């Protein structure tokens, strides 16, 4: 068992001011595999004070030096890849074959890329008689989720530090062990004390203390839309900057002429990745009614390739969900879909055969879903696909945009130019065209209740900068 009895403040491992302890559970076995402190508002205050004290010197540190330190953090993460990947597979349930490249490889790349970005970033430019300079926003509060725990941390911490900001991180208490590993790497690298601080604990205490602290200049939050609204409320009291990456109900629009042999399996993978615990998951497959039976058949066949299994087994493609609460939530949505008249193509709410322990759910596909059904509107966060038929292309676009969310999406067509035309009409922050490859340098973020602000690449760095004009 991994027991963490200290938090990281001001460049040192120190005891929390509280006595609470949070248990970390293996999602495969339901066994306790770790313990971390439950931080307090006093811990947050100490961390923010340390960050505020460190900010002036860190902001004045040459960008090239900041970049070199970030590169060393990336190297430190890479040296621990196997251990961190195993930890996250146990915490979250992602299969170990994917955890290495996704849950650890992407964070490692995010730190390395942030280090490279600062060397070439246009920190100053001449505009008429003005010198326009970009400066770090200040102390950043980073509040991150459990589904891609280290990656979501990296998408905030790496660009914030690269920009010259100092950081107070609150990782998810559900999957926190990887954050402590990162803190160890940062400590070994030798970032100046106070540049990075870690306080673990519940959102209602630690998260709210960060969002409301008067010396926190910006809050970057990834999580549920409900919690994001609360962050906005608290941040508004001191008019601090907020960046939010929230929920999603992303549409996968398959046009009449699309290659179903490519589009449907790709859509299933885009829905089931990380057991569906992905904010940008393609959970709504919008298909021509004339091809509905064909899509159902191909979707059922593709779903059969995702039998649930232990996330540490090499051949597993669909691991467990993160917790008992999440398992019951997803099963509840499956039951709701059946109650509201959706056609169950495969799967169901019953536990998968032979998996009595662990937070497992059957890979599920519904068809004949309509936009007024709960499973078509609410974020399920599990391996549950809704197939919605349409009669005209205009109807397909209307269905795709019929959501309070707008995070991601996809379009498939035999005509790439036509697919791009439809993609431009989707009110969402990112659209894959005919299975377009993931691009970590492209901006990621949402429209509508999926939030605002962008992460990744230079777009993520810009979130942590203020703009100043010097008239001469």
Categorize the per-residue pLDDT at 22 as very low, low, confident or very high, splitting at 50, 70 and 90.
very high
Contacts of 154 (CB under 8 A, 6+ apart): 106, 107, 108, 110, 111
pLDDT one-digit tens code per residue, 215-248: 999 999 999 999 999 999 999 999 999 999 999 9
Tokens of 138: 């200040």
Q: Tell me the catalytic residues.
A: 245, 279
| pLDDT mean across residues, the chain | 97
* Angle, vertex CA 184, rays to CA 219 and CA 137, nearest 5: 25
Query: What pLDDT is attached to residue 471?
Result: 97
Chain center to CA of 313: 24
What CATH number belongs to 2-246+450-471? 3.40.605.10
Query: What pLDDT is attached to residue 119?
Result: 87
Extents of the domains making up the chain: 2-246+450-471, 251-440
pLDDT one-digit tens code per residue, 263-293: 999 999 999 999 999 999 999 999 999 999 9
For residue 129, with 0-12 CB atoms within 10 Å meaning exposed, 13-18 middle and 19 or more buried, which class applies? exposed
pLDDT one-digit tens code per residue, 189-204: 999 999 999 999 999 9
pLDDT one-digit tens code per residue, 410-447: 999 999 999 999 999 999 999 999 999 989 889 999 99
pLDDT one-digit tens code per residue, 89-134: 999 999 999 999 999 999 999 999 999 999 889 999 999 999 999 9
- pLDDT over threshold 90, residue 34: yes
pLDDT one-digit tens code per residue, 437-471: 989 889 999 999 999 999 999 999 999 999 999 99
Residue bearing tokens 């839309």: 225
User: DSSP for 177-231?
Assistant: HHHHHHHHHHHHHTPPTTSEEE----IIIIIHHHHH-TT--EEEEES-HHHHHHH
How far apart (Å, rounded) are the C-alpha atoms in residues 271 and 285? 9
Residue bearing tokens 């091809």: 291
284-288, strands of its sheet edge to edge = 343-346, 364-367, 384-390, 284-288, 251-254, 409-412, 432-433
- Using the Cα atoms of residue 41, residue 46, residue 51 and residue 53 in order, give the sign of their dihedral: positive
pTM of the model: 0.96
- pLDDT over threshold 90, residue 392: yes
Options 3.40.309.10, 2.60.120.380, 3.40.50.300, 3.30.1490.100; which CATH number does 251-440 get?
Answer: 3.40.309.10
Query: What pLDDT is attached to residue 40?
Result: 98
Q: Residues 153, 89, 357, 338: what is their CA dihedral angle, to the nearest 10 degrees?
A: 60
Query: What pLDDT is attached to residue 233?
Result: 97
Strands (DSSP E) contained in 205-348 are: 218-222, 241-245, 251-254, 284-288, 343-346
- Indicate the length of the chain as a whole number: 472
Helix intervals (H) in 32-136: 41-60, 63-79, 81-92, 96-98, 105-120
Helix intervals (H) in 340-454: 374-377, 393-401, 416-424
Categorize the per-residue pLDDT at 174 as very low, low, confident or very high, splitting at 50, 70 and 90.
very high
Query: What pLDDT is attached to residue 131?
Result: 97
Q: Residues 150, 3, 73, 430: what is their CA dihedral angle, to the nearest 10 degrees?
A: 0
Categorize the per-residue pLDDT at 394 as very low, low, confident or very high, splitting at 50, 70 and 90.
very high
Can 2-246+450-471 and 251-440 be said to share one CATH topology? Answer: no
């Amino acid at each position: 068992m991994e027991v963490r009895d200290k938090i990281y403040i001001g460049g040192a491992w120190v005891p929390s001011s509280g006595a609470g302890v949070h248990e970390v559970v293996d999602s495969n076995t339901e066994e306790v595999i770790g313990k971390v402190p439950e931080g307090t508002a006093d811990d947050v205050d100490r961390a923010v004070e340390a960050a505020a004290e460190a900010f002036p010197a860190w902001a004045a540190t040459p960008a090239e030096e900041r970049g070199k330190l970030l590169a060393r953090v990336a190297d430190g993460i890479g040296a621990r890849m196997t251990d961190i990947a195993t930890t996250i597979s146990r915490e979250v349930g992602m299969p170990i074959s994917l955890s290495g490249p996704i849950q650890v490889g992407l964070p490692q790349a995010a730190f390395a890329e942030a280090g490279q970005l600062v060397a070439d970033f246009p920190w100053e430019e001449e505009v008429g008689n003005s010198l326009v300079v970009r400066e770090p926003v200040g102390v950043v509060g980073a509040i991150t989720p459990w589904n891609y725990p280290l990656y979501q941390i990296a998408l905030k911490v790496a660009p914030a530090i690269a920009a010259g900001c100092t950081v107070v991180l609150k990782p998810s208490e559900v999957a926190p062990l990887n954050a402590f590993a990162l803190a160890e790497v940062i400590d070994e690298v030798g970032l100046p004390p106070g540049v990075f601080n870690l306080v673990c604990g519940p959102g209602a205490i630690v998260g709210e203390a960060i969002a409301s602290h008067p010396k926190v200049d910006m809050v970057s939050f990834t999580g549920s839309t409900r919690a994001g609204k609360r962050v906005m409320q608290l941040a508004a009291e001191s008019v601090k900057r907020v960046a939010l990456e929230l929920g999603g109900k992303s549409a996968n629009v398959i046009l009449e002429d699309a290659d179903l042999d490519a589009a449907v399996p790709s859509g299933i993978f885009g829905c089931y990745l990380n057991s569906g615990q992905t904010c940008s998951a393609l959970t709504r497959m919008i298909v021509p009614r004339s091809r509905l039976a064909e899509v159902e058949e191909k979707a059922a066949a593709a779903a059969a390739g995702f039998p649930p299994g232990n996330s540490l087994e090499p051949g597993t493609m669909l691991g467990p969900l993160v917790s008992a609460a999440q398992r019951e939530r997803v099963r509840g949505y499956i039951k709701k879909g059946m109650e509201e008249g959706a056609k169950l193509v495969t799967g169901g709410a019953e536990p998968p055969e032979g998996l009595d322990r662990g937070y497992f759910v059957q890979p599920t596909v519904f068809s004949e879903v309509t936009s007024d059904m709960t499973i078509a509107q609410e974020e399920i966060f599990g391996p549950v696909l809704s197939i919605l038929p349409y009669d005209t292309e205009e109807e397909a676009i209307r269905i795709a945009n019929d959501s309070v969310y707008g995070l991601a999406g996809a379009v498939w067509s035999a005509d790439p130019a036509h697919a791009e035309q439809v993609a431009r009409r989707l009110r969402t922050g990112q659209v894959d065209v005919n299975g377009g490859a993931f691009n970590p340098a492209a901006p990621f973020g949402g429209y509508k209740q999926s939030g605002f602000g962008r992460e990744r690449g230079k777009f993520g760095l810009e979130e942590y900068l203020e703009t100043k004009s010097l008239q001469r």
